[in-house]
Amino acid sequence: MLISTRIRKSPFWHLSIEAGAWRADVYNRMYHPRGYVKPEDGGAMAEYDALVNRVTLWDVAVERQIRVKGPDAEAFVDFVITRDATKIKPMHGKYCILCNDRGGILNDPVLLRLSQDEFWFSVADSDLLLWLQGVNVAKQWDVVIDEIDVAPVQVQGPLSVDLMAELVGDVVREIPYFGMLESEIAGCPVVISQTGFSGEKGYEVYVRDATLNAENVWYAIRGTGARYGLRVIAVAHHRRIAAGILSWGQDMDNETSPFQVNLAYHVPRNKTTDYIGKKALEAQREQIESGNYPFKLKMVGLKMGGKPITDYAPDFWLIQNTEGVRVGYVTSPWWSPELHINIALAYVPWELSEIGTPLRVELPEAYAEASGEHVKAEVCDVPFRPSANPSAREKAMLAGRDYTD
C-alpha cells in the first residue's frame, strides 16, 4: 500500500511499523495495520496462537472516539441508538447499533458513558461523526458532538488480566464486563474498559491526549508485557469469527437489518421513547412474528470443507444449494484450529437457514479440494467457540430464549 499524507495516521502508526507491521488497509479514513507475522513465519495463525494462549497488543486507533457531551447528552444518545441509553450507568459501556429510518445498520460502536452528560462512541468503519452532527443540525439537543484526541489500543488474551493488573493495580481485576476505570499508565491518563473484539478475555485502553501520550503508553504495555510473552498483532478477525462477532462493512452495512444478522436483541420491545428507525424495525418484527420474513437473506454460521483458510478472504465467495443454484455468499471465513475445519459467517435464504442444512461453497482454487469444484458446507450454531465474556445474544442462545433490552 502507498503510504502518503492524504490518509490519516494514528498516533500508534509508527509504533506499529516499528513492531513489524508489514501490510495495512484503510479503516475510518486511517491506515490500519493488518499483519505483523510474515506468512513464511506462520502468518495470521501465529498471531492467533499468541492471542488464545498468551496476550496480545493491537493498534485500534482507527476506532475513532466521537464524544457527545452536554446537558442533553442522554436524550440525544437515546434517540440515535436502538437500545435504552438511560440504562447505561456512568463508567459503563454497551455494544450498540445505530440505524437509519429504514432500519439499516449505520454503525455498531462500543458506547462508553463517562459521566451523566458525556458519552464516547468508539466507532466502526463509517462516518458516524457526520451522521450525528447532521441529526442535531436543528440544535434540538444541547450537546457538543466532536472527535476527541483519544486513541485506543486493545490488550487481549488470557494473560491480559495479570498484565493489566501489573500496569495499573489489582483494581482492574474487579472491572465487570463493559465496566470502566480511570487510571494512568506511565504517568499518562487512560480510560480502561473490559471489552474487546476477540472473544477472549481482554481490555481496551483509551489513551487521553493521545498525540502526546501514545508512545509512553505503548512502550509501557510492551515492556511489562514482555514478561507475559506479549505479541503485537493485527485485529483478530480469525478469533472474532469464531466468537460470532460481526464486522461492519464486511458482515453488515446500512442496507442490513438487525433481524438479518442475529441482532434482534438490539430492537427492544420495552423502549418507550422514540429512536431513529423504530417504526421500520417494529414493522419488520411484526412481519417476522407473523411468519412473513421480509428479507431475502439471513446470516448463519457455516462449517465447510476445503483447504485451511488461514488469511483474509479477498472476496465474498458464493454459496449454492444442493442442486447447484447460487443462493447466497460467505462474508467472513477462516480456519478453526480447535474444530479442525473452515468456519464462516454467511448469508443464505431464510428457508435454508436451519441448523444442519447442507449447502455448497465455491472456494477459489487456492482453498478448493479440487480445481473448479465446490466444497460441502453445513449451517451450524454460532458462536463456534464460547467467549470469555459471552454477549447477551450468546447467553440467550445458550439459555434457549429470546433476549430483549
The model's pLDDT over 287-329, given as tens digits with 9 standing for 90+, comes to: 999 999 999 999 999 999 999 999 999 999 999 999 999 999 9
Return the pLDDT at 393.
53
Say if residue 241's pLDDT is above 80. Answer: yes
From the number of C-beta atoms within 10 Å of its C-beta (0-12, 13-18, 19+), residue 17 rates as middle
Among the listed residues 187, 17, 372, 267, the one whose alpha carbon sits nearest the alpha carbon of residue 3: 17
With bands split at pLDDT 50, 70 and 90, how would you rate the model's confidence at 24?
Answer: very high
CA distance to 84, 133, 371, per residue, from 365 (Å): 47, 46, 6
Please state, rounded to an integer, the average pLDDT across all residues of the chain: 94
Return the pLDDT at 394.
59
Q: Which domains does the chain have, with CATH numbers?
A: 13-62+153-178+197-202+211-240 (3.30.1360.120), 65-147 (3.30.70.1400), 242-399 (3.30.1360.120)
pTM, rounded to two decimals: 0.94
Residue 182 assigned to a binding site: no
Strand ranges, E, within 216-325: 231-232, 297-304, 318-320
Q: Nearest 5°: phi and psi at 297?
A: -125, 155
Output the CA angle 96-100-102, nearest 5 degrees.
Answer: 120
Say if residue 402's pLDDT is above 80. Answer: no
The model's pLDDT over 171-217, given as tens digits with 9 standing for 90+, comes to: 999 999 999 999 999 999 999 999 999 999 999 999 999 999 999 99
Residue type, 212: L
